[in-house]
Amino acid sequence: MKKTRKIKVGSLVIGGGRSKQIVIQSMTNTRTKDLRQTLTQIKQLENAGCELVRVAVLDQEDAKSIFKLKKQIGIPLVADIHFDYKLALLSLKSGADKIRINPGNLGRAENLKKVVDLCRKINTPIRIGVNSGSIEKEILNKYKKPTAEALAASALKNLAIVESLNFDKIVLSMKHSDVLANIKAYELVSQKVDYPLHLGLTEAGTFLSGAVKSSVTMGVLLHQGIGDTLRISLSGDPVQEIGVAKKILKALNLSKDQIEIISCPTCGRTTVDVEEIASRIEEATTGISKDLSVAVMGCLVNGPGEAKRADLGVSGIDRDNDYLMFFKKGKTLKKIHKNEVVNFLIKEIAKF
Ligand code: SF4
């Protein structure tokens, strides 16, 4: 990964150029002041593997809630603020580990200065987050459209404003809804700065569309060594974002602590419900941190051979058979009843 500055966010470090430090984050979609719901969602995110959570701060009650939330969660918290610098100040005083702002929408210059001054005083970082909808008029006039170049120019302009206030604990993001423009904007900014970059795509869509667009975007960038933290944006339950983020990192070999589930695409030889068994195993192993691959294959003819690289797995035997064959590294070992297969694999996984 590209070597970037290390920025401390609570107990986490973002940046530094080491792949294992790519931080997975998400954002709650509850009303932040609804402590019960927000806490429940943060716990769900935390259990799924979220390392940093962001909450929207719309008013003073939201900002004050941060104090109570922080007492009950185990991961650092980011306050997301638009327009009202006083909410940024209150969020910081309530214990936010980082704030996300767009310096251009906080009003007068002295408002931003007050926020930056407090961040410096209490050693709290800022994410400068711009997106294709927030590009300043003069930049849009120059580029005519919200192009990648315009978005990069907006990010660099806002960065320069915050730097001019003698502050450098900064994470940058520049999100576009167009995949190619998003990739280019990050590439352009990455060439110019060594601040950690928060990867994301704005308005990515519902689960399938968002997961695909995000995977393409993050895949291209992370493969070039660009990116220090990522948030997958999906319309819906944010817990799903964590699963997608983990799978992107795993696919790029940037994460060693997840169980990879391999399952065959099924064909005319399939003798078991591969999708159902694979989904059950995936669900049962979510949250288990191990560098391990588990295969679910549809037939004995090709299954164990095709899944030779898997550490362990099961395959169908023949139609109307209630048993599956268990194998390790492609070597068939014993038959397991279909009702026992998930529990059996969990026990086998525990041995690794
Ligand atoms: S493992 Fe067997 S069932 Fe699955 S795709 Fe290959 S040949 Fe078909």
Mutate-to-test residue for ligand 1 from 262, 263, 264, 321, highest number of ligand atoms within 8 A of CB: 264
Question: Number of structural domains, the chain?
Answer: 2
Residues 271, 233 within the same domain: no
Residues 267 and 218 both lie in one domain:
no
Residue 175 shares a structural domain with residue 55: yes
Domain co-membership, 93 together with 163: yes
* Best residue among 262, 263, 270, 296 to mutate for probing ligand 1, ranked by most atoms within 8 Å of CB: 270
2: in domain: no
Give 319 Cα–ligand 1 centroid separation in angstroms.
13
Please tell me the residue having the least CA distance from ligand 1 atom 8. 267
What stretch of H or E contains 178? none
pTM over 0.75: yes
- C-alpha distances out from residue 181 to 150, 217, 229, 248, 339, Å: 10, 10, 19, 20, 48
Helical spans, DSSP H, in 1-136: 35-48, 60-72, 85-93, 109-122
* Gap from CA of 206 to ligand 1 centroid (Å): 30
Strands 170-175 and 198-199: unpaired
Give the residue from 251, 284, 300 where a domain finishes: 251
Atom 7 (ligand 1) nearest CA: 302
Choose one of 251, 267, 288: the last residue of a domain: 251
| Ligand 1 centre distance from Cα of residue 314 (Å) | 12
Identify the residue whose C-alpha is closest to ligand 1 atom 1.
303
Tens place of pLDDT per residue across the chain (352 aa): 889 999 999 999 999 977 668 999 999 999 999 999 999 999 999 999 999 999 999 999 999 999 999 999 999 999 999 999 999 999 999 999 999 999 988 989 999 999 999 999 999 999 999 999 889 999 999 999 999 999 999 999 999 999 999 999 999 999 999 999 999 999 999 999 999 999 999 887 889 999 999 999 999 999 999 999 999 999 989 999 999 999 999 899 898 778 889 999 999 999 989 999 999 988 888 778 888 899 999 988 887 788 888 999 999 988 878 899 999 987 889 999 988 999 999 899 888 8
Q: Which atom of ligand 1 is nearest to the CA of 315?
A: 1
Pocket of ligand 1 (CB under 6 A): 264-267, 269-270, 297-299, 301-303, 306
Q: Give domain status of residue 345, yes or no.
A: yes
Alpha helix segments (H runs only) across 123-238? 137-143, 148-163, 179-192, 207-223
CA distance 135 to 175: 11
Looking at the structure, do residues 155 and 240 belong to the same domain, yes or no?
Answer: yes
Same-domain check for residues 185 and 281: no
How far is residue 76's CA from residue 52's CA, in Å, rounded to a whole number?
A: 5
Q: Indicate whether 224 and 307 sit together in one domain.
A: no
Answer for the pair 53, 38: CB distance below 8 angstroms, yes or no. Answer: no
Asked whether residue 239 falls in the same domain as residue 289, the answer is: no
Going from the Cα of 274 to the center of ligand 1, the distance in angstroms, rounded, reads: 10
The residue among 227, 251, 275 that closes a domain is 251
Same-domain check for residues 237 and 293: no
CA 37 to chain centre: 21
Domain span at residue 66? Answer: 7-251
Flag whether 64 is in a domain: yes
CA-closest candidate to residue 122, choices 169, 83, 160, 78: 169
What CATH number corresponds to the domain at position 303? Answer: 3.30.413.10
Rounded (10°) CA dihedral 81, 83, 89, 92:
10
Q: Which atom of ligand 1 is nearest to the CA of 274?
A: 4
176 within a domain of the structure (yes/no): yes
Q: Which atom of ligand 1 is nearest to the CA of 301?
A: 2
